[in-house]
Amino acid sequence: MTDLTTIKAAARKAAFARRKEAHAAGHPEQAAHLSAVLAGYRGVPVSAYMSMRTEIDPTPAMEEASAHGPVGVPVIMSKGKPLRFRRWEPGVAMVDGGFGALIPETGDWMTPEIVIVPLVAFNRAGGRLGYGGGFYDRTLQSLRAQGPILAIGFAWSAQEDEGFPLEPTDQPLDMIVTEAGVITPRR
């Protein structure tokens, strides 16, 4: 392993432990700030993720947003490729989409203008440490080449970490939303 790989692996391990602890503590209104942010973008196509393991759950905000416009869920097409987004709404039939993520069984494809991004760690500059597959970095780069995109990292506040390294291919977040509030990255 390279030094960068070792450093990122250690940062992920520490962040997973903090995330697990935050998840176990729970927070009854964990998506309230995300809902408030999305309320300012009614009708704008948005994508979010179906939470896994100890990720913070965006579902309540997704349900609210779906009453006003299209909501999509990421679908992994293949390794090394950007994600695509399948239309989602409350109650739609879901199936395993790989990597443990649920996706709508059927539905139209859509292109989001707001992408709610899961993460392992974030910093106040808008840096994001993901799972290491590069799916969101490739996706955000591709979407940004087509037009403006608002990338919102959604995480437990305990996932903040100023010490992980970034690479040139890492796509920045435009905003971070936690159960505790909204962070506008300093650039």
What is the pLDDT, as a whole number, of residue 136? 95
Q: Are strands 102-104 and 94-96 parallel, antiparallel or unpaired?
A: antiparallel
Question: Would the pLDDT of 129 be above 70?
Answer: yes
- Eight-class DSSP state of 160: B
Read off the tokens for 154.
């959604």
pTM summary value:
0.93
Question: Would the pLDDT of 2 be above 70?
Answer: no
Would you say 72 and 85 are in contact if contact means Cβ atoms under 8 Å apart?
A: yes
Summarize pLDDT for 51-64 with one digit per residue, the tens.
999 999 999 999 99
What is the pLDDT, as a whole number, of residue 42? 96
What is the pLDDT, as a whole number, of residue 78? 87
Phi and psi at residue 36, in whole multiples of 5°? -65, -40
Summarize pLDDT for 168-184 with one digit per residue, the tens.
999 999 999 999 999 99
Q: Any idea which fold 3-183 has?
A: Rossmann fold (3.40.50)
Summarize pLDDT for 10-52 with one digit per residue, the tens.
899 989 999 999 999 987 789 999 999 999 999 999 999 999 9
Question: Would the pLDDT of 1 be above 60?
Answer: no
Summarize pLDDT for 110-119 with one digit per residue, the tens.
999 999 999 9
- Give the residue-averaged pLDDT of 122-130: 95
- Give the residue-averaged pLDDT of 156-170: 92
Kindly give, in sequence order, each residue whose CB lies less than 8 Å from that of residue 87, ignoring residues fewer than 6 positions away.
70, 71, 72, 104, 107, 108, 109, 110
Would you say 22 and 172 are in contact if contact means Cβ atoms under 8 Å apart?
A: no
Summarize pLDDT for 69-112 with one digit per residue, the tens.
999 999 998 888 999 999 999 999 999 987 778 999 999 999 99
**Average pLDDT in the chain:** 93
